[in-house]
Amino acid sequence: MVEDERSGVTAPEDGPGRGARATGGPVGGAPWRPGPDDDEPPRAPTQVRDVLLAQLELHRARVLRKVDGLDEEQLRTPVLPSGWSALELLVHLTAVERRWLQWGFRAEPVADPWRDAGPDGRWRVPAGATGADVVAALRAQWDVSRAVVDGVPLETRSAVGGRFPTAGEAPTLGWVLLHLLQETARHVGHLDVVRELLDGAVGE
């Protein structure tokens, strides 16, 4: 362990995937994206917006790492008492992004993303969809989400008329992104457990 001279906070020593990428800022001002060996976003940015978006990207990437290497049967096998499979959770995360940013923040005329939930509360994988199809749909939704928030200040209020019928119910973009971050991180934790039960794989 090493101590940060500026803050006095003890941090892990540099190792594979750490070092310059973990401590430097975005290259050329581009938004940070985690690489296959990145552990945490850069520590240099001080703007809350940059930190928030980088943490969200980190946990989005961890979602994919948690299902990487699972075959079709494993992706569809429920291992928790609630009965959810890893693939159903990816469908849920796709709907979460659409619900909060397209339907919520932008008030786009999309159908309620919760429509895909079954009567028992479980999420349904589209008929005929493979694991790769579901992952591709999630990646595509992330691209839409990034476009929605690009250049928008955190204090901007959500539009009225979609998910939020009145201005008083419309949260700021910062609130929405923080909600997305905590929900994505929470579901990464669920996938941690699912993956360990499926094949014993652990770690971030």
User: Rounded distance, CA 111 to CA 41, Å?
Assistant: 34
- Give the range of the structural domain holding residue 116, as residue numbers without chain letter: 44-199
Q: When comparing pLDDT for 174 and 27, which is higher?
A: 174
User: Rounded distance, CA 85 to CA 77, Å?
Assistant: 5
User: Considering the chain, what is the average pLDDT of its residues?
Assistant: 82
CATH number of the structural domain spanning residue 170: 1.20.120.450
Q: Which of 21-35, 108-122, 179-193 has the lowest mean pLDDT?
A: 21-35
- Tens of pLDDT, residue by residue over 37-47, are 667 777 766 78
Considering its fold, how many domains does the chain have in total?
Answer: 1
Closest residue by Cα to residue 138 from 82, 198, 64: 64
pTM: 0.80
- Please report whether residue 74 resides in a domain: yes
Q: What Rg, from alpha-carbon coordinates, does the chain have?
A: 18
Q: How sure is the predictor about 2, in pLDDT bands with cuts at 50, 70 and 90?
A: very low
The mean pLDDT value for 23-27 works out to: 36
